[in-house]
């Protein structure tokens, strides 16, 4: 632990990657956790539902944790809370919308009655252990987002969270430049700033541009309109409602997350919806298609999402017909492009006009600060030390160079990765050691039991398939009573490859007859029927097909 005249800062997620944000601040032997997010699985994690940070360090030091502070309600900042919080059980601080969304998650996990959640407004200082904290209002793609000022005897640290600088946001809650400038005037020891859009030049385009795009597209639509966006983007959802009202259309909400977030935002006053405009999806078939706008989740083509089910004709009520218009009002997140384009192709094949950021850029604006916004953040706060956060390594290094260009001394701008223990005092900043960090996989109801070995096996199965070999053997003698049976999945189509499978059976029989030495398995002289079968089948398919399927021998003794 750093001395009382220094602070330690450790990222357990969010540095060197997009998502899974979790930052720990340590001072006077106490730990403050800022955000606790998840990441979504990629092609290298088949079957995994979500990925959360490894918080073994926090669990081992749970008595030192004084609280969780959440900057906003996006999944990559709060999604891991229901999985992490039960092992630590510290108070949770956040804005009205953030806690509103979190309560839904905790209710689902049967944790709501156990948790202490404390709602805090912007510019309202509050004390958590040795940390004097204050939320600073910022614009982002979800309402009620905040940066965080962390004050100790050492000095003031500004943690931006996710932000952009939109002077005319839909919710009329722009980034609080005045407060940021005030902190800068009094002295900011360190700035930790969002790096996601560091490589985008220019300044933020106002969300009002999207409203104009909706007005244009809605006015020319002749049939059903489906708009897919992130369920958390309340400002965007408000614009969809406004555009629908302007052309006298009613709204159908499709998708569980969309329903939940709209209900929470409406109850807290962040969404203003005219009475009677929302109709139940079950009424869809009885209404004229040109009178309806469907607001749907699934803009990233997520499996089983509302839009994916609609596109595949698997939705109970809603379908796509020729002449319909589908609007993807969201960014194509890197890694999702192929899935999204497949969805676009399917909807186009059904006769829909599909509008997205590539053929109409103004249909979406980012929630993250581009270069000019990041420069303004640095200019207002004037930090002595700078640590780029929220981004891949290339983003962090680019942001460090920008900070140096803006006047931060080269030795005071530090790029760190997950697990690095940053030690900060009034005069120096450095990396001093490593804290255990990593990823924990959540698969169904199982947390943390999915190891890299299991994922390797899943990838193996997906790439090379599986062969099950059934051996019927006499218990007393160990002799085979009938020929082996082979069942393949993902290797060959059995109906068209019977000769090949007969050869594979013969290879098993030969291995069992000759034994390890006869099969040149000299390194495994004690091998029994299961081991011999496994190795013989692997060798056979490697030689014949160039593949190494997973082989599962089953021995039935009689």
Told to judge if 171 belongs to the known catalytic residues of this protein, a careful annotator would answer no
186 part of a folded domain: yes
Q: Are 62 and 85 in contact (CB under 8 A)?
A: no
Task: Please state the rounded mean pLDDT for residues 365-371.
Answer: 95
Q: Which two tokens stand for residue 413?
A: 């701008």
* 455 vs 463: which has the higher pLDDT: 463
Residue 181 has pLDDT above 90, yes or no: yes
Residues 374 and 291 in one domain: no
Residues 294 and 438 in one domain: no
What integer pLDDT is reported at residue 479 of this predicted model? 77
What integer pLDDT is reported at residue 383 of this predicted model? 98
Q: Give the Cα separation of 60 and 265 in Å (integer).
A: 36
Residues 277 and 390 in one domain: no
Residues 195 and 50 in one domain: yes
- Element spanning 279, H or E: strand 278-279
542 part of a folded domain: yes
Residue 449 has pLDDT above 70, yes or no: no
Q: Give the Cα separation of 157 and 187 in Å (integer).
A: 9
531 part of a folded domain: yes
* 337 vs 191: which has the higher pLDDT: 191
**What total of structural domains would you count in the chain?**
3
Residues 331 and 227 in one domain: yes
pLDDT tens, residue by residue, 197-233: 999 999 999 888 999 999 999 999 999 999 999 999 9
Residues 350 and 245 in one domain: yes
Q: Give the Cα separation of 272 and 242 in Å (integer).
A: 9
Cβ burial, residue 202 (10 Å; 0-12/13-18/19+): exposed
Q: Which pLDDT band, with edges at 50, 70 and 90, does 495 fall under?
A: confident
Residue 458 has pLDDT above 70, yes or no: no
Q: Which pLDDT band, with edges at 50, 70 and 90, does 447 fall under?
A: low
Q: Residue 512 is part of a domain; what is its CATH number?
A: 3.10.20.580
The crossing angle, in degrees rounded to 10, of helices 177-186 and 371-381 is 40
Q: Give the Cα separation of 270 and 67 in Å (integer).
A: 26
Task: Please state the rounded mean pLDDT for residues 308-335.
Answer: 92
1 part of a folded domain: no
- Low-confidence winner among 43-52, 369-378, 425-434 (lowest mean pLDDT): 43-52
pTM here is: 0.82
What integer pLDDT is reported at residue 1 of this predicted model? 46
Exactly one of 140, 315, 364, 368 is catalytic; name it.
368
| Strand pairing report for 429-434 and 420-424 | antiparallel
pLDDT tens, residue by residue, 68-113: 999 999 999 999 999 999 999 999 999 999 999 999 999 999 999 9
CB-based contacts of 530, cutoff 8 Å, min separation 6: 471, 553, 555
Q: Are 8 and 1 in contact (CB under 8 A)?
A: yes
Q: Are 331 and 230 in contact (CB under 8 A)?
A: no
Q: Which two tokens stand for residue 144?
A: 């009620």
Residues 277 and 265 in one domain: yes
Q: Are 194 and 368 in contact (CB under 8 A)?
A: yes
What integer pLDDT is reported at residue 446 of this predicted model? 53
Maximum average pLDDT range among 48-62, 191-205, 443-457: 191-205
What integer pLDDT is reported at residue 462 of this predicted model? 67
End-of-domain residue from the set 319, 337, 363? 363
What integer pLDDT is reported at residue 525 of this predicted model? 53
pLDDT, averaged across the chain: 90
User: In this prediction, what percent of the chain has a pLDDT beyond 90?
Assistant: 69
Q: Give the Cα separation of 31 and 133 in Å (integer).
A: 13
pLDDT tens, residue by residue, 475-492: 777 777 888 888 888 888
Cβ burial, residue 520 (10 Å; 0-12/13-18/19+): exposed
Task: Please state the rounded mean pLDDT for residues 8-36.
Answer: 96
Maximum average pLDDT range among 281-290, 421-430, 454-463: 421-430
Task: Please state the rounded mean pLDDT for residues 437-442.
Answer: 86
507 part of a folded domain: yes
Q: Are 380 and 394 in contact (CB under 8 A)?
A: no
456 part of a folded domain: no
Residue 251 has pLDDT above 60, yes or no: yes
Q: Residue 121 is part of a domain; what is its CATH number?
A: 3.60.15.10
135 SS3 class: strand
- Element spanning 287, H or E: none
454 part of a folded domain: no
Residues 190 and 228 in one domain: no
Query: What does each C-alpha distance from 49 to 39, 41, 110, 289, 460 come to in angstroms?
Result: 10, 7, 19, 35, 19
Question: CA-CA-CA-CA torsion for 538, 541, 544, 546, nearest 10 degrees?
Answer: -90
Residues 191 and 279 in one domain: no
End-of-domain residue from the set 388, 415, 447? 447
Residues 64 and 160 in one domain: yes
Q: Residue 352 is part of a domain; what is its CATH number?
A: 3.40.50.10710
Residues 89 and 18 in one domain: yes
Q: Give the Cα separation of 341 and 300 in Å (integer).
A: 10
What integer pLDDT is reported at residue 448 of this predicted model? 55
Q: Are 162 and 72 in contact (CB under 8 A)?
A: yes
Residue 337 has pLDDT above 90, yes or no: no
Nearest to 90 by CA among 54, 131, 118, 124: 118
Residue 47 has pLDDT above 80, yes or no: no
pLDDT tens, residue by residue, 341-356: 999 999 999 999 999 9
What integer pLDDT is reported at residue 466 of this predicted model? 85
Q: Which two tokens stand for residue 217?
A: 């597209």
Q: Are 310 and 228 in contact (CB under 8 A)?
A: no
Told to judge if 272 belongs to the known catalytic residues of this protein, a careful annotator would answer no
- Low-confidence winner among 166-180, 189-203, 505-519 (lowest mean pLDDT): 505-519
Q: Which pLDDT band, with edges at 50, 70 and 90, does 519 fall under?
A: low
Residue-number span of the structural domain to which 522 is assigned = 465-557
Alpha helices in 382-490 (DSSP H): 393-405, 452-464
Task: Please state the rounded mean pLDDT for residues 133-162.
Answer: 97
* 483 vs 474: which has the higher pLDDT: 483
Residues 271 and 329 in one domain: yes
Q: Which pLDDT band, with edges at 50, 70 and 90, does 451 fall under?
A: low
Exactly one of 144, 166, 176, 194 is catalytic; name it.
194
56 part of a folded domain: yes
Q: Are 357 and 213 in contact (CB under 8 A)?
A: no
End-of-domain residue from the set 363, 397, 430? 363
């Amino acid at each position: 632990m750093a001395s009382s005249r220094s602070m330690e800062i450790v990222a357990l997620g969010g540095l060197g990657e997009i998502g899974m944000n979790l930052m720990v601040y340590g001072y006077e032997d106490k730990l403050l956790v800022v955000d606790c997010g998840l990441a979504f699985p990629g092609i290298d994690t088949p079957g995994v539902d979500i990925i959360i940070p490894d918080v073994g360090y926090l669990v081992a030091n749970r008595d030192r944790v004084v609280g969780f502070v959440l900057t906003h309600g996006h999944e990559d900042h709060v999604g891991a809370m229901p999985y992490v919080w039960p092992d630590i059980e510290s108070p949770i601080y956040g804005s009205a919308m953030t806690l509103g969304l979190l309560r839904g998650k905790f209710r689902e996990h049967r944790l709501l009655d156990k948790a202490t959640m404390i709602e805090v407004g912007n510019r309202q200082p509050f004390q958590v252990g040795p940390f004097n904290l204050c939320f600073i209002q910022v614009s982002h793609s979800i309402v009620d987002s905040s940066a965080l000022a962390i004050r100790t005897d050492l000095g003031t640290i500004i943690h931006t969270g996710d932000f952009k600088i939109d002077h005319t946001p839909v919710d009329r809650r722009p980034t609080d430049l005045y407060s940021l400038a005030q902190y800068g005037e009094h002295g900011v020891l360190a700035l930790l700033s969002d790096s996601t859009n560091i490589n985008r030049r220019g300044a933020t385009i106002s969300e009002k541009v999207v409203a104009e795009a909706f007005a244009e597209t809605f006015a020319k639509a002749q049939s059903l309109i489906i708009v897919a966006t992130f369920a958390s983007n309340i400002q965007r959802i408000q614009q969809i409602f406004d555009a629908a009202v302007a052309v006298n259309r009613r709204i159908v909400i499709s998708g569980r997350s969309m329903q939940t977030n709209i209900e929470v935002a409406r109850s807290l006053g962040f969404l203003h919806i005219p009475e009677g405009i929302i109709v139940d999806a079950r009424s869809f078939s009885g209404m004229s298609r040109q009178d309806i706008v469907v607001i749907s989740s699934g803009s990233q083509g997520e499996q089983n999402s509302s839009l994916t089910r609609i596109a595949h004709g698997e939705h109970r009520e809603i379908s796509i017909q020729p002449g319909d218009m589908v609007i993807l009002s969201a960014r194509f997140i890197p890694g999702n492009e192929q899935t999204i384009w497949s969805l676009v192709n399917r909807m186009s094949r059904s006769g829909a006009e599909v509008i997205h950021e590539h053929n109409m850029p103004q249909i979406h604006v980012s929630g993250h600060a581009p270069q000019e916004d990041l420069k303004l953040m640095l200019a207002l706060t004037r930090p002595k030390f700078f640590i780029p956060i929220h981004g891949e390594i290339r983003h962090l290094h680019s942001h460090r160079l920008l900070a140096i260009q803006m006047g931060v001394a080269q030795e005071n701008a530090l790029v760190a990765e997950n697990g690095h223990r940053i030690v900060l005092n009034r005069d120096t900043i450095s990396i001093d050691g490593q804290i255990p960090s990593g990823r924990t996989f959540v698969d169904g109801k199982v947390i943390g039991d999915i190891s890299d070995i299991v994922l390797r096996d899943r990838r193996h199965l997906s790439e090379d398939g599986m062969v099950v070999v059934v051996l019927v053997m006499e218990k007393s003698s160990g002799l085979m009573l009938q020929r082996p049976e082979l069942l393949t999945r993902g290797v060959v189509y059995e109906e068209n490859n019977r000769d090949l499978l007969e050869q594979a059976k013969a290879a098993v029989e030969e291995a069992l007859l000759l034994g390890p030495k006869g099969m040149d398995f000299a390194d495994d002289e004690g091998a029994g029927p299961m081991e011999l079968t496994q190795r013989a089948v692997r060798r056979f398919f490697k030689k014949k097909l160039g593949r190494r399927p997973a082989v599962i021998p089953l021995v039935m003794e009689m």
